[in-house]
Structure 1
Amino acid sequence: MNPSIAKLSDIAQKEDRLIIGLMSGTSLDGLDIALCKIKGNGTSTQLDLLQFDTMEYQPAFRQWIRQVFAKRSIDQQILCGLNPYIAQVHADLIIKALKKWSIQPQSIDAIASHGQTVFHAPQSLTGDISLPNSTLQLGDGDHIAVKTGIICISDFRQKHLAAGGEGAPLAAYGDYLLFSSANENRILLNIGGISNFTFLPKTDSSLKAYATDLGPGNTMMNQFMEMKFNLEMDKDAEIAKKGKLHNGLLQELENNHFLTLGFPKTTGPELFNLEYLNMAISKSGLNDLSPEDIMATLNSFSAQTMINGIRKATDGIDDFRIYVSGGGLHNPLLMEQLRQGFPSQVTSFNDLGLNPDAKEACLFAVLANETLSGDPYSVSRIQDSPAVCMGKISLPY
């Protein structure tokens, strides 16, 4: 027997596993690395976050990704080369993190790598039914496994597509296993490049859990900041706070069919981008707005999209709580508007006992744990999501 296969079998039968979860989102700020100790599987899963760090990307690395990110016309040679290059960079960052934590690679059971999304194309977004639902994440699992010497589980979204899903959002799986409650209905709101939430009804409810994208989180703000100010983000909403909301532009931004669709649904920067912003500016005849006013309006657009979506999801439900994670949690203007929309329900994911910045990386560690030792039936109560274990397994030798 291949020794890697034997090791894989041993890992699957262990009482608990050490799994490194990786997440690199559409914001392109860096790689989230979460070292998780996971015991059990399914609804009995217990997760202990042992270490967490966000390893910042170098500007030159971001520029490589931006050459293909959410673009229909690209250089195929760059796309091809980025698949191993991203994996090599991620592997180097994992090794760097393990050295920082004084942990030997051989003590790690598996790496759960989400990869870097460069294009998301479900039929519901493209309107093209000639090709099946598709999504593409770069960062080859074999390269990560070989360079780190650790079994790597990656490319999670392809099984979701193959089983009839849209490849996103996947948060419902880990959220359902870890954070379902008998005492309250929960909205687990993640504000990354795209905003999304998982709705978790009380465990005795007849309602089903589901995850859905809402619309823009940080992506349009970040893209505008990079173009206009050569900055990665509007830190502490400093630029947006200097501007004024323009209702005419906000109305044009909100005038999109996707925002009227029911849940669950999925989207990405392929829709919500600078082209979308420029079209809204042109239609509203507001070509003389200051960059500060545009940022203030984009901030409100993201906030209002989330508020409207959560109100739709909780219509008729009085007792619910909103737990926020993701980069948007650190945007004070965005959070202020969310709290105005829900004065008593908004809180940080910290209240559930998990670092909100580490949440997505941890959720992929949970998905890898299910691939190793779980049962697809455990997630059968998630609405419109195939009951599958996801991820391709790459062996280091």
Structure 2
Amino acid sequence: MNAMRVCGLMSGTSLDGLDIAIVDFSFANNQIQHDLLYFKTVSYEESLKSELHSLMNPMTPLRTVSSMNMYLGEFFADELQATIKESTIDFESIDLISSHGQTIWHEPSTEKDSVYTRPNTMQIGDISVIAQRTGKTTIGDFRTRDMAAGGQGAPLVPFADQLLFQSEEKGRILLNIGGIANITVLAPAQSEEEVIAYDTGPGNMIIDACVAKYTNGQKTYDESGMIASTGKVNREWLNDLMKHDYFHADIPKTTGRELFGTAYVEKLWRDGEKYNCSHADIIATATMLTATSIAKEIQKYGNTHEIKEVIASGGGVHNLTLMSYITEQLPARISLLTSEDIGVNADAKEAFVFALLGYLGVQKQPNSLPVATGASMQTIMGKIAWGNLEVSR
């Protein structure tokens, strides 16, 4: 495979901003070599965040969705170019842009009530617009190829987790806490145990929404978990919350705002008040819900996969209360680390991963993990919009 400099773009379910990672990839000694050159998160203004949130309502007019697909492509391209200029990296040295896009709908399983109904997913931020505005070849829309092969189109990060982070000596769980939380379970490399990966449930999504309600929109997340730390977890209510069908569904499974979005948070907030919880108590209980749903899944694999480390990444690692809630529910033999401890920027990981998926995809190399998504076969994910060409006339 050729060496390439790739810009990975990631905008997640938390809708907090666009992550941009610039990574050098090469292939030597039968291994992928990588060097993260630059990383930045471009925060979304409240108006854009609100507009993106509104797109997740199934009643949103189709023309609005279609228009935002084009607008977001322009926004991604412009912010990427500004970031490269800020980094002092030569724009001409960029070989490829790899964009996850912004998921506005993800329905990996459906009740087939119509001959036209299929599992489906939609990420916007059109790659043709990005390619046209930057002049660079752009790859994106990864999830649909996996779905076409019978998979859930998610989670995709476990492919990179196994490729880059599996240990010879000890079992690891790679935990990502974004809007949704997901795990990749990696037994030691010589083990016969297969990789297991899926969404555990909500990550920051419910906590963020509760904080926004508590502060009347003045804050959009619980910085360092300070608000939760002043509240008290209502254990009776937490037990009821953990009865949600998703927490007991078989794997593979993925989820998003369709289950844990606005409607869920509105009901949770009302129920918290019925339990006579203060608003800080509601946020503490929502934080413990995320922690418990994560810890419950980690505990399943401690023995079978010889798990010694849980390595966390994503925005949730900055919520110290959440991290302490997870730690207190893990066996003493399992250490909770962050990806910084193994040399990977905790905030940059997902953008880095999509840079990797794009690097492989554009060179026609498989970049999916069927045991994680449930697909019938490994595929080469990603659609390509070629960069500007010199055309002779």
TM over 0.5: yes
| Offset, 1:290 | 1.9
Q: Does 1:358 align with 2:345?
A: no
Q: RMSD over aligned Cα, in angstroms?
A: 2.2
TM-superposed CA distance for 1:396, in Å, is: 2.8
- 1:262: how far off? 2.8
Match of 1:259 among 234, 243, 247: 247
Per-residue deviation, 1:127: 4.4
In structure 2, do the counterparts of structure 1 residues 254 and 278 end up closer, same or farther at CA, with 3 Å as the change threshold?
farther
> Which piece of structure 1 moves more, 80-89 or 340-349?
340-349
Query: Secondary structure of 1:164's partner?
Result: coil
Aligned residues: 381
Gaps of 5+ in 1: 1-12
Q: Distance in 2 between matches of 1:375 and 1:39?
A: 13
Aligned twin of 2:5: 18
* 2:259 match: 271
Contact 1:122–1:134 (Cα < 8 Å) also in 2:
yes
Give 1:106-121 correspondences, 5 Å limit: 106-121=92-107
CA shift in 2, pair 1:380/1:61, >3 Å: closer
Identity %: 35
Aligned to 1:166, the other structure's residue is in SS state: coil
Partner of 1:340: 328
Q: C-alpha displacement at 1:98, in angstroms?
A: 0.6
Partner in structure 1 of residue 168 of structure 2? 182
CA-to-aligned-CA distance 1:5-53 (integer Å, 9 cap, x gap): xxxxxxxx52x11001111111111111100011129972121111111
SS of residue matched to 1:270? helix
2:310 is aligned, of 318, 322, 340, to: 322
CA distance in 2, matches of 1:335, 1:380: 30
User: 2:67 maps to which residue?
Assistant: 81
Distance 1:43 1:363 in 2: 19
- What is the Cα deviation at residue 271 of structure 1? 0.4
Aligned to 2:228: 240
For 2:338, the aligned partner's letter is S
The structural deviation recorded for 1:154 is 0.6
Q: 1:193-342 residue pairs with structure 2 within 5 A? A: 193-229=179-215, 230=217, 231-280=219-268, 286=274, 288-342=276-330
CA displacement 1:256-306 (0-9 Å, x = unmatched): 111012332111111012422444566687264321111010000000000
SS in 2 for 1:376: coil
What's the counterpart of residue 53 of structure 1?
40
Counterparts of 2:310 and 2:111 in 1: how far apart (Å)? 32
- Determine the C-alpha separation between the residues in 1 that align with 2:63 and 2:16: 24
Residues 174, 183 of structure 2: 8 Å contact kept: yes
CA–CA distance in structure 1, aligned partners of residues 60 and 387 of structure 2: 31
- The residue aligned with 2:391 is none
Q: For residues 127 and 332 of structure 1, do their structure 2 counterparts lie closer, same or farther at Cα, with a shift above 3 Å needed?
A: farther
> In the alignment, what sits opposite 1:100?
86
User: Which residue number in structure 1 is paired with residue 156 of structure 2?
Assistant: 170
Distance 1:337 1:169 in 2: 24
Asked if residue 372 in structure 1 is aligned to residue 362 in structure 2, the reply is yes
TM value normalised by structure 1: 0.90
More divergent stretch after superposition (110-119 vs 262-271): 262-271
The one-letter amino acid of 1:235's match is E
